[in-house]
Amino acid sequence: MATGGLKITTGIIAAVLVTAAVAQARSVLAPLAAALFIIAIVWPVQERLQSWLPKLLALAITVVVTTTACIAFASLAAWGFGRVGRSLLADAVRYQALYDAAVIWLDGHGISFAGLWAEHFNVGWLLRVTQYVTGRVNTTLSFWLIVLVYVVLGLLEVEDAGRRIERLENRTAARVLLKGSKATAAKFRKYMLVRTQMSAVTGLLVGLFAAVTGLPFAFEWGVIAFVLNYIPFIGPFIATLFPTLLAMTQFESWPAVFGVFACLNVIQFVVGSYIEPRVAGSTLSISPFLVLFAIFFWSSLWGLFGTFIGVPITLAILTFCAESPSAAWIADLFGGTHEERPETP
């Protein structure tokens, strides 16, 4: 009994130390995680190209195509937010009027909102936010440059790494690493395929809803919903918040504004919580509780990028656990693959 308690205590301490180390090593580990995720997705393209082209030429084509796709995706997001942002800024006077009316109503009910706003959201706060955003842009550019270098080097090393793993004397470790890596890469590609399909469905439904209700920028709202759907939970919420802000200046009825917000959330919920799990099927079987925990856990460690990469990292952990006889119970407990487990040598 004492030995079991000691093991549990040791495990908890080790988990805390590992978590602290991962958080402190964010600048090193986050780009590496992003690069491994990209490599797993694009490796089939690289492998097929280099079967009939020189390896370096195949690598160059794969990197160019991947970079172009990422830039196109970012440009699409910037275009949608730019179009909507200009409209929101143009309605600044109307938002000020809504703000003044809200302050008067709150003051009438004994809530001094204006003083709280003036205390915390002043010019100094605005300057700090501007500096933060500027710093984040520079950090993001550096982050993706490091990721690109990792991707190039990683694609060159995939085959050599596989051969080195095959030569390991520990055959159990070699099998777990090889099968786990292949299964994880396949799940990553399935995950991105499903996310893309569901993002397209979400964008289409949001755009159609905006067009039917007469909300301006219906196409742009569809594009924004498509882009933000790649970020679980947080992205869909933002994609419903901004159309609601525009509805506040377009519709004179507050029930209509709340109706827009509610309907957009229903679309996000139905697609994300009902349709997507059934499309993904058992290939990405994972506990919804663990999904939510992974998103908040990794976002607390790595910020916005952690929100996106949290689920893939959890998928990878569960997949490797499923391939290891001693850790297969973890994959079963949290809804991992339910394939027949390999026998312990």
pLDDT of 1 strictly over 80: no
Nearest partner of 37 among 245, 339, 337, 312, judged by Cα: 312
Does residue 338 form part of some domain? yes
- In the chain, count H helices and then E strands: 14, 0
pLDDT cut 70: percent of the chain above it: 79
Report the pLDDT averaged over residues 255-275: 86
- Asked if residue 128 is part of any domain, the answer here is yes
Instruction: Give the model's pLDDT for residue 128.
Output: 61
Domain containing 269 equals 171-345
Upper half-sphere CA count for residue 317 (Cβ side, 13 Å): 15
Least confident of 71-85, 191-205, 270-284: 270-284
Does some domain include residue 102? yes
What pLDDT score does 131 carry? 57
Question: What percent of the chain stands above pLDDT 90?
Answer: 24
Residue 236, Cα to own-chain centre: how many angstroms?
A: 11
Please report the pLDDT score of residue 345 as a whole number.
42
Mean pLDDT value of segment 111-116: 58
- pLDDT of 336: 46
Q: Which of 111-120, 133-142, 179-188, 219-228 has the lowest mean pLDDT?
A: 111-120
The per-residue pLDDT for range 295-331, each reduced to its tens digit, is 888 888 888 788 888 889 989 998 898 888 888 888 8
- The reply to whether 318 and 213 lie within a common domain is yes
Structure confidence at residue 115 (pLDDT): 57
**Mean pLDDT, rounded, for 120-139:** 54
In this structure, the answer to whether residues 183 and 303 fall within a common structural domain is: yes
CA 281 to chain CA centroid, nearest Å: 20
pLDDT at 219: 92
Out of 43-47, 93-97, 174-178, 320-324, pick the least confident.
93-97
Residue that the structure tokens 């679309």 belong to: 267
Give the per-residue pLDDT at 305. Answer: 85
- Kindly state whether residue 328 falls inside one of the protein's structural domains: yes
10-26 confidence digits (pLDDT tens): 767 887 888 888 888 88
Length of the chain: 345
pLDDT above 70 (res 105): no
Binning pLDDT at 50, 70 and 90, where does residue 102 land?
A: low
Q: How many domains in the chain?
A: 2
Q: Are residues 116 and 144 in the same domain?
A: yes
Q: In terms of domains, do 143 and 197 share one?
A: no
- Please provide the distance, in angstroms rounded to a whole number, between the alpha carbons at the two ends of the chain: 29
Residue 328 vs residue 62, higher pLDDT: 62
Are residues 201 and 343 both part of a single domain? yes
What local confidence, expressed as pLDDT, does residue 340 receive?
A: 45
> What pLDDT shows up at residue 133?
52
- Same domain, yes or no, for 84 and 179? no
The string of DSSP letters for 198-228 reads: HHHHHHHHHHHHHHHHT-S-HHHHHHHHHHH
Is the same domain home to 126 and 222? no
Residue 287 resides in a domain: yes
Last residue of a domain, one of 125, 145, 167: 167
